[in-house]
Structure 1
């Protein structure tokens, strides 16, 4: 894998991660790193995100997910590599819940 090769991950973050600005923290971090994807709250109390960017940027992003915003308390971050999505242009908050 090269430094500029795009990769995509799906992450599920558990702990105190809803009602503390975690989705907006995620958007800010993703945009700062020039990544695409989305983030949403899930019905089970976790936050789920898919993020795409270069390997180093995805690594930085995942590291920030372990920290979270000020009022959060991250207990666990599960990360899976998934196929890259072509044509995606932004990082958004999804309003749907699963």
Structure 2
């Protein structure tokens, strides 16, 4: 089990990107959250099995036909043991 904090830049606000991220995470049984940042980027914290997180990252890079992830910065962060689902923060 691992957890990453990911900051995604590109065309990621106003294009359904957070909902795409949530749907992708739920399909892969990952937990965490995502939110828009004031600088136009999206921050994601995602937790799960490493192979599923690698699949998640690959899908996020491709996007949802409307979004475009130009750059992703990954940082390993501590696991949250009682987390149950992936949500969108506002």
TM over 0.5: yes
Q: Based on CA coordinates, which of the two structures has the bigger radius of gyration?
A: 1
Q: Secondary structure at the match of 2:35?
A: strand
Q: CA deviation at 1:91?
A: 0.3
Alignment of 1:55 onto 2:50: yes
Q: Which residue of 1 aligns with 2:16?
A: 21
**3-state SS, counterpart of residue 34 of structure 1:** coil
- The reply on whether 1:76 has 2:71 as its aligned counterpart is yes
Whole-angstrom distance in 1 between the partners of 2:67 and 2:33: 19
1:78 is displaced (CA, Å) by 0.8
1:93 matched residue in structure 2 = 88
Q: TM-score, normalised by structure 1?
A: 0.89
Shift of 1:25: 0.2
Give the secondary structure class of the aligned counterpart of 2:5.
strand
Distance between the aligned counterparts of 2:75 and 2:55, measured in 1? 15
Give RMSD over aligned pairs.
Answer: 0.7
Structure 1: stretches of 5+ with no match in the other structure: 1-5
> How many residue pairs are counted as aligned between the two chains?
90
Q: Secondary structure at the match of 1:78?
A: strand
